[in-house]
Amino acid sequence: MALAVDASRFEGVPMAPPDPILGVSEAFKADTSDLKLNLGVGAYRTEELQPAVLNVVKKAEKLMLEKGENKEYLPIEGFAAFNKATADLLLGADNPVIKQGRVATLQSLSGTGSLRLAAAFIQRYFPDAKVLISSPTWGNHKNIFNDARVPWSEYRYYDPKTVGLDFEGMIADIQAAPEGSFVLLHGCAHNPTGIDPTPEQWEKLADVIEEKKHMPFFDVAYQGFASGSLDEDASSVRLFVKRGLEVFVAQSYSKNLGLYAERIGAINVICSAPEVADRVKSQLKRLARPMYSNPPIHGAKIVANVVGDPTMFGEWKEEMEQMAGRIKNVRQKLYDSLTEKDQSGKDWSFILSQIGMFSFTGLNRPQSDNMTDKWHIYMTKDGRISLAGLNLAKCEYLADAIIDSFHNVN
């Protein structure tokens, strides 16, 4: 009997939609204009608009090469020295919660992997709970909670009228949510808007979250990268922890150590007692094992080496200040150019008050399209530009484009 295997079982599998951000880079590559500028990129670029590996990372890798360590499996929770370093960085090495052993830390696959572990934990142990995410937020947040089957809803965040924070809306929506919700907060340098609450606003948020018995859940992807100071950028998280609340925190070293491709981050759960942290950690491990068994070593060793050596740690802080500094300079130049060239009296100061890699320009979809079609400037359609992809030389050109798009396009 001649046996033919039937047609593939995957015949019905449709093509997935293109990634909104990758699509930008692809279109940019295809553009032949000399004037083109890629402001979609979510990775730091030097003033020469080149990707860069931090010097301190090169040093650490060289050291690791010389040491020639083995490549054995890490334990499920990851590299111990990294886990210690990352919790210390986040909370401060002298933080009582660390001394008391109340922090469950798992090395995980950068910010995404940390968020996903937390989401899986929430689904398993808090199946009736909802996650509240900002409107807007990083595009992948929704995918993570969807795939983890955790319901989510949005709280107001961005106010297009002021190109700033809709704080009252934010507070109202968090207050209105069912008790025991998880509130996803960006620790610093909100992505995509660049708009962060002020210290006073953080205090008020903590009041409301405490009052409603919500769980604060921080996504910290830019510690040190936002203001240039590791401690300052962690102040929002530390504020909540100081109040004695239990807190989830996802961390990433993609941007602040430029370790994008090595996928290094951590999920931390600050718990009420050490034995609670123990139990929570054991269950996070149980979720990680059937996902990837144990996390990749390379990035963890780099971080541990850098943080563990006072000289290298100092060098890292310097390089981070430089990166943050370059972004601040570019913001200033862009603001100056806009203010100088725009005769309408529009207030462009949001460029200066926003922080981090991204800026929400307030441009709408047709206006963003104009940026690309007429000016060869590539950005995401929500009006977000990545300042990491901008240099001083291009600021005036960008200012011209923004002014034109804003005033002449509906």
Counting contacts by CB under 8 A, is residue 144 touching other proteins? yes
Q: By C-alpha distance, which of 368, 388, 359, 383 is closest to 191?
A: 359
Pick one of 135, 140, 201, 235: the residue that binds other proteins (CB under 8 A).
140
Counting contacts by CB under 8 A, is residue 261 touching other proteins? yes
- Positions 306 through 365 that interact with other proteins (CB under 8 A): none
Counting contacts by CB under 8 A, is residue 296 touching other proteins? yes
Counting contacts by CB under 8 A, is residue 76 touching other proteins? yes
Counting contacts by CB under 8 A, is residue 271 touching other proteins? yes
CA angle 15, 21, 22 (to 5 degrees): 60
Counting contacts by CB under 8 A, is residue 287 touching other proteins? yes
Contact 234, 183 (CB under 8 A): no
β-strand partners of 159: 164
Provide the pairing of β-strand 152-156 with 215-220. Answer: unpaired
- Positions 109 through 138 that interact with other proteins (CB under 8 A): 109-110, 112-113, 116, 120, 124-129
Q: Which residue of the set 138, 152, 348, 375 is catalytic?
A: 138
| C-beta closer to other proteins: residue 46 or 349 | 46
Counting contacts by CB under 8 A, is residue 285 touching other proteins? yes
| C-beta closer to other proteins: residue 150 or 401 | 150
With CB under 8 A, what is the number of residues at the site for other proteins?
95
| C-beta closer to other proteins: residue 75 or 160 | 75
Residue span binding other proteins (CB under 8 A) among the ranges 189-197, 198-206, 240-248, 305-313 = 240-248
Token pair for residue 180?
A: 């025991």
- Positions 150 through 209 that interact with other proteins (CB under 8 A): 179-180
Residue span binding other proteins (CB under 8 A) among the ranges 86-94, 273-281, 352-360, 383-391 = 273-281
In order, the DSSP letters of 74-100 are PPTT--HHHHHHHHHHHH-TT-HHHHT
Q: Residue 111 CB, nearest distance to other proteins (Å)? A: 8
Token pair for residue 381?
A: 């359609």
Q: Residue 136 CB, nearest distance to other proteins (Å)? A: 17
| C-beta closer to other proteins: residue 284 or 363 | 284
Residue span binding other proteins (CB under 8 A) among the ranges 217-225, 239-247, 315-323, 333-341 = 239-247
Pick one of 52, 80, 172, 352: the residue that binds other proteins (CB under 8 A).
52
Contact 403, 362 (CB under 8 A): no
Whether 347 is catalytic is no
In order, the DSSP letters of 212-281 are TT-EEEEEES-TTTSSS-HHHHTHHHHHHHHTT--EEEEEE-TTTS--GGG--EEEEEE-SSHHHHHHHH
Whether 202 is catalytic is no
β-strand partners of 220: 251
Q: Which residue of the set 152, 219, 316, 333 is catalytic?
A: 219
Pick one of 162, 175, 198, 282: the residue that binds other proteins (CB under 8 A).
282
- Positions 2 through 41 that interact with other proteins (CB under 8 A): 3-16, 19, 22
Q: By C-alpha distance, which of 265, 350, 347, 251 is closest to 302?
A: 265
Burial of 325 (0-12, 13-18, 19+ CB in 10 A): exposed
Q: Residue 373 CB, nearest distance to other proteins (Å)? A: 26
Contact 100, 157 (CB under 8 A): no
Does residue 127 have a cis bond before it (omega within 30 degrees)? no
Counting contacts by CB under 8 A, is residue 299 touching other proteins? yes
Counting contacts by CB under 8 A, is residue 298 touching other proteins? yes
Q: Which residue of the set 59, 196, 233, 255 is catalytic?
A: 255
β-strand partners of 147: none
Counting contacts by CB under 8 A, is residue 147 touching other proteins? yes
Counting contacts by CB under 8 A, is residue 62 touching other proteins? yes
Whether 381 is catalytic is no
Q: Residue 102 CB, nearest distance to other proteins (Å)? A: 6
Contact 308, 85 (CB under 8 A): yes
Q: By C-alpha distance, which of 71, 101, 31 is closest to 278?
A: 101
Contact 234, 220 (CB under 8 A): yes
> What are the residue numbers of the active site?
138, 219, 255
